Structure 1
């Protein structure tokens, strides 16, 4: 039997982000007899750690929860972690000789764009290098065209939407660079979503005659929860009764919570925090709302589509593809005003959403878990 292919995968942690969830879904569906995989985390932390198959080896630079505050008692620990990680990034030979035990990998894989320099700076010159781009980098701070072009140092650039594919193809200087770009939709386990959605709702009360708009995601400024709450307040002031439910956690959680209080909407807007099963909340809500400022390919919309929800989404990367160019949900302008018009339409003209509901009934997801996993495996197997 041939030797198993040795693969190193790098990601910051396995906390509650979309890229982390997608990576773990992919790992759970890999054949264990073909590969020897080491996942190297900057921080051994996260809800998805428990879901990583036991045959995959998890390594880490630091252990413990992410430190998101600047409290005096946390500063030395936070600074120590940052310094340690910076030293290993600057002198990767120390990492490869020590933590990685001089292992010779066939493939080195950056599971997020933020691991670009760590993988491209690897002392292993013979390994093939892959990056997985989950965001529209043209919308991400500090990512100039020159910065984005550095990704062409990889052998394969996996992108998750048509918009990101166009961005990279537009920056490619020749056919060889264009051929490095491969579009692969995020693997989503629809069976798991449908099964988990049947579980009971905990710590929340849905009200039958008042519509609930749910939004699920990591609480970062990117997700636009601040503008969602401002629109919520404006609509309440106009007499449109409704509720907002935000499911997720992240470094902006306290800021959004404070904004909620300042706006005086604590009674009608709920921040549930992280749950490893958001699907019963999806199922019971009236509308799913995506308020993001930018995305790569918002996998959460697949989950809403799977559960046949009425969807309102800002026009960010991936949304047109996922909502079949407006057949499966209402696509709004990417602004506060756009969100306002979308939510107002949902409440004042609910009948206009029946067409989306009808289209969703007969819709078959073209982006299957099996297809995505098989395509990624085929890339691993070309090396």
Structure 2
């Protein structure tokens, strides 16, 4: 008899955890597992990439009231006689306005949001909250499963999360999975009594699939070979260092470098406007370009002269691993888990987390063709596929 698995995620919007989930689901042995996927919102660019073997459950209807303007939500409650949700939504609205730390806000909102989410009737062999915060809280409180697994995709110490909120939930988990040794060390520092529960399962990347998708063409971009073409794949937010990238671009333009820096990804409406405004104020409209979300970013990666990850911190960046597979000269910042991904001076460059250092590193790569070729040669020597990481999950599930 097949084991019954449940994965829980907020949505399938374009992000590292969502991409990681797709790769994991593509690697599962469906002769052994029946798999359900619960999304709080059944939407996102990666929704179409979910394997056909997956049963996507109906999204909890009342979740949407916590994702819309409060006035509209309260009007809906009165119309639909959902009076029990009025005070939870008011409390959540207060937190959305007053708690500036996004991660901590999500944690504090959960007790109110949970009142809008019913329990699942089905019993599972294992339930997997595939992202920190609400997916993990959900499987603890709302799911009947023999094993409960929480997946942490970030460096916990730098995440802004409150460990006092997470600790009671983490205690209830049978396993805590994270994506790199550095992320495990961070979790161990914060939750040392739970160390025996923590396992590293690296994000799965398939060189064959990435190279095949990279060979596809694109029509929305003209590549000028006389221009330095840079690609960054990241959410538009402070954590990913988009402001640092814009500053670095300005410094390079001032040095006389002809540059096109393309960013694939998006952020909140406020963040999108903020960075577009910054680009305009610095007169970089022709040099720093936001491409938005691309379901297939690999052709853009393929055309890049340099891949740059300007993050302030990362768990383990899938985009960096993909750039390695496509053998791009890579520059990343010295976030906590950077050494898990790049050997500085061997297969890429690691610089300090400032716009000036990013610019200096790019300028050195731009000027030194031999250095770029050395990085490419060393990347081509590496064995970068890790599809068998899924075996670690099988061991946990056994």
TM-score (norm 2): 0.83
Equivalences for residues 209-224 of structure 1 within 5 A? 209-224=226-241
Per-residue deviation at 1:325? 4.9
RMSD: 3.0
Count of residues in correspondence between the two structures: 367
* Aligned counterpart, 2:136: 116
What secondary structure, in the 3-state scheme, does the structure 2 residue paired with 1:235 have? Answer: helix
How has the CA–CA distance of structure 1 residues 247 and 33 changed in structure 2, closer, same or farther, with 3 Å as cutoff? Answer: same
Contact 1:288 1:304 in 2 (8 A): yes
> Do the aligned partners of residues 319 and 286 (structure 1) sit closer, same or farther apart at CA in structure 2, a change above 3 Å counting?
same
Residue 44 of structure 2 is matched in structure 1 by: 46
Counterpart CA distance in 1 for 2:50 and 2:350 is 35
Specify the alignment match of 1:21 in structure 2: 19
Q: 1: distance between equivalents of 2:67 and 2:143?
A: 31
User: Higher mean Cα deviation, 32-41 or 277-286?
Assistant: 32-41
**Contact kept? 2:66, 2:113, Cα under 8 Å:** no
Q: Which runs of 5+ in 1 are unaligned?
A: none
Matched residue, 1:182: 199
1:55 aligns with 53
| CA deviation profile, 1:194-249 (whole Å, cap 9, x unmatched) | 01111113211111111111101222322111210111112212222222111112
Q: CA deviation at 1:20?
A: 0.6
Quick check: 253-262 or 273-282, which moved more? 253-262
Quote the offset at 1:308 in angstroms: 0.4
Question: Where does residue 146 of structure 1 map in the other structure?
Answer: 164
Q: Does 1:270 align with 2:289?
A: yes
Structure 2: tracts of 5 or more residues without a match: 78-84, 93-108
Match in the other structure for 1:289: 308
Asked if 1:358 is matched to 2:377, the reply is: yes
CA offset digits 1:107-156 (Å, max 9, x no partner): 121100122322222363x6311011110121122x24434544243111
Alignment match of 1:201 (pick from 184, 198, 218):
218
Q: Name the residue aligned to 1:377.
A: 394
**Comparing both structures, which one devotes a greater share of its residues to helix?**
2
| Alpha-carbon distance in structure 1 between the residues aligned to 2:342 and 2:126 | 34
Query: Partner of 1:200: helix, strand, or coil?
Result: coil
Q: Distance in 1 between matches of 2:175 and 2:228?
A: 45
Q: Secondary structure at the match of 1:53?
A: coil
Look up the SS of the partner of 2:363 in the other structure.
helix
SS of the residue aligned with 1:297? coil
